[in-house]
Amino acid sequence: MTPLEQKLHFDRIIERVEKARLRMNDHHIVKIVAASKYVDAEAIKSLYAIGQRAFGENKVQDLVTKSETLDELPIEWHFIGTLQKNKINHLLSVRPHLLHSIDSLELAHALNERLEREDMTLRALVQINSAYEESKSGFFPEEIHEKYLQILEECPRLQLQGVMSIGAHTEEPTIVRKSFETTRRIFETLPKATVCSMGMSGDFELAIECGSNMVRLGSILFQK
């Protein structure tokens, strides 16, 4: 796409987000995180040039490499993939704005221990497996409240901001909606929770209508 075509395409996506937001609530605010795992630094730079500021990577090494390459830009980096404990040091070297995917108590404690050692804090979301799918990480809905409070109490270096979930993996909108509504209901019960991150390229409008205030958009943003 030419720069003009990219800007027009980006504006159309913003318009879709805006319409979904208004269907939810006039006062609802939605943040877009550009999931940039399949694109290079130049593609990120192009999207930054037309106004996108938050970018999310799924692999720690890619996050490290791209953040170093684009060091001159004040990009807000998010880590949106599954974090392995042996990658914690590399992740912290980037000082990401937000970690989306705390999916176990073991990971939370390992992060807290490393953050304590480095005298750092880290904003983070706890992942909910709201669709009960074996292929997905995260806590099940019936345990999330207890685990969230446990992380808050036992891991003070983690500044929990809320929750993240991935919509049910199906073409049936009612099932996807149910998974989003489950996450939203849980989000509303959690102390200090301000971020409800759900919705990707294929289902972001439905996610926003169900209460998401942060969407992770990849393929739809970076179309050729």
Three-state SS for 83-142 is CCHHHHHHHHHHCCCEEEEECCHHHHHHHHHHHHHHCCCEEEEEEECCCCCCCCCCECHH
Phi/psi zone of residue 193: left (φ > 0), alpha (ψ -120 to 50 degrees), beta?
beta
Does residue 223 fall inside a structural domain? no
The pLDDT value recorded for residue 221 is: 93
For the cut 70, the answer to whether the pLDDT of residue 6 exceeds it is yes
Does residue 197 fall inside a structural domain? yes
Does residue 224 fall inside a structural domain? no
Does residue 108 fall inside a structural domain? yes
For the cut 80, the answer to whether the pLDDT of residue 223 exceeds it is no
Does residue 222 fall inside a structural domain? no
Return phi, psi of residue 106, to 5°: -60, -45
**Residue range 67-96, pLDDT digits in tens:** 999 999 999 999 999 999 999 999 999 999
134 — pLDDT class (breaks 50, 70, 90):
confident
Please give the tally of structural domains in the chain. Answer: 1
**Residue range 89-131, pLDDT digits in tens:** 999 999 999 999 999 999 999 999 999 999 999 999 999 999 9
Q: How many CB atoms lie within 10 A of CB 121?
A: 13
Domain extent at residue 119: 3-217
Tokens 């550009």 belong to 34
* 189 closest CA partner among 157, 156, 141: 141
**Residue range 32-50, pLDDT digits in tens:** 999 999 999 999 999 999 9
The pLDDT value recorded for residue 120 is: 97
The pLDDT value recorded for residue 224 is: 62
For the cut 90, the answer to whether the pLDDT of residue 4 exceeds it is no
The pLDDT value recorded for residue 42 is: 95
Query: Strand ranges (DSSP E) for the chain?
Result: 31-35, 54-57, 76-79, 98-102, 122-128, 158-165, 195-197, 214-217
**Residue range 140-197, pLDDT digits in tens:** 999 999 999 999 999 999 999 999 999 999 989 899 999 999 999 999 999 989 999 9
Look up the pTM and report it: 0.95
CA–CA gap between residue 154 and residue 174 (Å, rounded):
37
Is the Cβ–Cβ distance between 162 and 195 less than 8 Å? Answer: yes
For the cut 90, the answer to whether the pLDDT of residue 25 exceeds it is no
CA–CA gap between residue 223 and residue 124 (Å, rounded):
29
The pLDDT value recorded for residue 26 is: 86
- What DSSP character marks residue 75? -
The type of residue at 118 is E
Does residue 72 fall inside a structural domain? yes
CA–CA gap between residue 98 and residue 33 (Å, rounded):
11
Could you tell me which residue, 25 or 116, shows the higher pLDDT? 116
Does residue 94 fall inside a structural domain? yes
CA–CA gap between residue 171 and residue 185 (Å, rounded):
22
Q: Is 57 helix (H, G, I), strand (E, B) or coil?
A: strand
Pair of tokens at residue 16: 């879709």
Does residue 207 fall inside a structural domain? yes
* 161 closest CA partner among 130, 126, 110: 126
- What DSSP character marks residue 82? P
| CATH code of the domain in which 101 resides | 3.20.20.10
